[in-house]
Amino acid sequence: MGSVTRGNHEKESPVSSTVTPERLTGRAWAVLFVLCGAIFLEGIDVSMMGVALPSIRAELGLTTSELQWIVSAYALSYGGFVLLGGRAADLLGRRRMFVGWLVVFLLFSGLGGFATEGWVLILARFATGIAAAFMTPAGLSIITTTYPEGPQRTKALLVYAGTAAGGFSLGMVTGGLLSAIDWRWVFFAPVIVSAVILAGAVALLPRDPARTAHRGGFDLAGAFTLTGAMLLLVTTVVRAPDVPAAQTSATAAAGLVLLAAFVRIEQRATTPLIRLGLLRNTALIRANLGAILLVGSFVGFQFIAVLYLQELRGWSELETGLALMVIGIDAVLAPTLTPRLVARFGNGRVVLGGFVLAAFAYTAFLPLGTTFAVMLPAFLLLGLAFALTYGPLTIAATERVAEDEQGLASGVLTTSFQFGSALGLAAVAAVLAAGEELTTGGFRAGLAVPLAAAALGVVVSYLSVRERSAANG
């Protein structure tokens, strides 16, 4: 391991600037392992929940619309507060935010496991989402400010993104295994993982540098208006099949009003939640739109697949988890194949290829086969698609952003991931709830949502590649 240097006001860095700066040192890998552990925890926590939903429904007696709120409550609080979390990391210290909110995540994960009523479970998930909103951008911005831009940062980000994708995928089989014992273990298991990560974080993460007192306060009004807008817009989609058109229009209009209020608040705030000038970064905008479409389609598909396999085909939680585990091929491909493709073809073309494969994957699942062999091609294509899109989108959303706004850029990306997750899930749940009971035809109709999102992702990424080619040529 190479030497570590310090300036008068610099934090200790886990990366080396020795003869081969493109390689990560042993300490750099150890720090990355801790940060990857946190994003793996976040991914596995979400996907375990997806597999456990039928068991939770059976014990707590929830409807399909109520069931999706177990996932959406987490996604919306996460997405609504993550910009505040990213800004807090920049201003109050990334290590401090990471460690402190990891403790909160641990506590509320445990609380969810003791819930006996649906509203308690949803409330616990909402609080856990807030904890993740402060923890995750702090972890990502530690990477983007600690590892120098170039081969080291690219490697670290792709390993980080691959770990996140692997958490989503491996959580499905883990959720199946734990739900086969008792669904409450999908809440208790993250407590154990959080404790291990917490010990590593305290020991290894670089300490925050001394900071001058921040007198401007935080943009709480912006955080609450953004969260309220997201809640209203997702509620509009979820409730549309069950309420009069006038009520749907009213909630949609209220959501848009709050969104407009958020923009106005950001324009006037002394310390805005998001500097609106950051949104002039077209690469960041394209990456975040891609993130909404990618995760929205993926989470919506998972919701459909789990309910189809367990409630219509009668598969057990374990069988469902093992089947969906195939998607976990992305955990292997993201840090190995994706960097080579990015180096050769560039981020844009790799993302375009990923969305094309995702569209093919959802199309391949449309026949709704009764055997694993029939569904296997769809799962493999989706795993490859996720490997090709998640990492490059993460890189695109944080490149060419000033160091003191890395936490903010990370927060914007995470907001997009979570809003896409909630919106995609809500749209699928609304389509399924439109029928009186779950049928093969209903599931096929629901699959139109992730397929449409992937198709739109193809269009957006194609336009991005064409624009960049024109600029270079």
**DSSP annotation string for 436-448:** SS--HHHHHHHHH
Statement: residue 409 has pLDDT above 60:
yes
For 123-144, how does the pLDDT look when each residue is reduced to its tens digit (9 = 90+)?
999 999 899 989 988 888 888 8
Helices and strands in the chain, H and E counts: 15, 0
Closest-CA residue to 365 (of 454, 305, 452): 305
pLDDT in tens, 114-127: 888 888 899 999 99
Closest CA to 133 of 92, 95, 83, 91: 83
Q: Which residues contact 78 (CB under 8 A, 6 or more apart)?
A: 129, 130, 132, 133, 136, 414, 418
Which residue did the predictor score with more confidence, 203 or 280?
203
Token pair belonging to 105: 């995540």
The span from the CA of 427 to the CA of 290, in Å, is 17
Provide the pLDDT for residue 280: 77
| Residues whose CB falls within 8 Å of the CB of residue 202, separated by 6 or more in sequence, listed in order | 99
Tens of pLDDT along 190-237?
Answer: 999 999 999 999 998 888 776 644 545 678 888 888 878 877 887 787
**Dmax of the chain from CA atoms?**
68
Query: What pLDDT shows up at residue 106?
Result: 93
- Cα–Cα distance measured from residue 335 to residue 33, given in angstroms and rounded to the nearest whole number: 14
pLDDT at 210: 66
Q: Which residues contact 41 (CB under 8 A, 6 or more apart)?
A: 105, 167, 190, 193, 194, 197
Per 3-state DSSP, the chain is made up of helix, strand and coil in percentages (nearest 5) of 80, 0, 20
Is the pLDDT at 4 greater than 50? The verdict is: no
Distances (CA, A) of 404 to 87, 177, 378: 9, 42, 41
- Contacts of residue 15, defined as CB under 8 A and 6 or more positions apart, other chains included, come to 24, 25, 27, 28, 146, 147, 148, 152
- 184's enclosing H/E stretch is none
pLDDT at position 254, please? Answer: 94
Walk me through the domains of the chain, giving residue ranges and CATH numbers: 26-205+220-273 (1.20.1250.20), 280-468 (1.20.1250.20)
Predicted confidence band of residue 172 (pLDDT cuts 50, 70, 90): confident
Helix axes 151-181, 330-345, angle to 10 degrees: 160
Mean pLDDT of the residues in the chain: 83
Asked whether 172 and 320 are in contact (CB, 8 A), the reply is yes
- Give me the pLDDT at residue 10, please: 39
Q: Poorest-confidence range of 319-323, 407-411, 456-460? A: 407-411
Confidence of residue 155 (pLDDT cuts 50, 70, 90): confident
d(Cα 393, Cα 286) in Å, to the nearest integer? 9
The pLDDT, as a whole number, for residue 415 is 78
Q: Which strand (E) or helix (H) includes residue 256?
A: helix 245-268
260 band by pLDDT with thresholds 50, 70 and 90: very high
Cα-based distances in Å from 414 to 125, 131, 336, 422: 17, 13, 24, 12
The per-residue pLDDT for range 71-102, each reduced to its tens digit, is 878 877 887 787 778 778 888 888 999 999 99
CA 311, CA 309: separation in Å to the nearest integer? 6
Is 90 exceeded by the pLDDT of residue 391?
no
Q: Residue 25: pLDDT above 90?
A: no
Residue 352 has pLDDT above 90, yes or no: yes
Q: What 8-state DSSP symbol labels residue 23?
A: S
C-beta separation of 39 from 193 below 8 A: no
Distance of CA 326 to the CA centre of its chain: 19
Contact assessment for residue 256 and residue 359, using Cβ atoms and an 8 Å cutoff: no
Please indicate whether residue 453 or residue 116 has the higher confidence score (pLDDT).
453
* 137-146, 164-173, 271-280, 385-394: the lowest-pLDDT one: 164-173
Has residue 16 got a pLDDT over 50?
A: no
pLDDT score of 397 more than 90: no
Residues 307-314 have a mean pLDDT of 88
What token pair was written down for 42? Answer: 């976040």
Alpha helices in 113-244 (DSSP H): 118-146, 151-181, 185-204, 220-239
Record the tokens describing residue 75, joined without a space: 């996604």
Closest by Cα among 422, 343, 339 to 387: 339
The pLDDT value given to residue 21: 55
Q: Out of 15-29, 65-79, 439-453, which region has the weakest mean confidence (pLDDT)?
A: 15-29
Mean pLDDT of 330-341: 82
pLDDT at residue 326, as a whole number: 85
Percent of the chain with pLDDT over 70: 92
In this prediction, residue 435 carries a pLDDT of 72
Model pLDDT, residue 18: 42
Per-residue pLDDT, 294: 94
322 by Cβ neighbours in 10 Å (0-12 / 13-18 / 19+) ranks as: middle
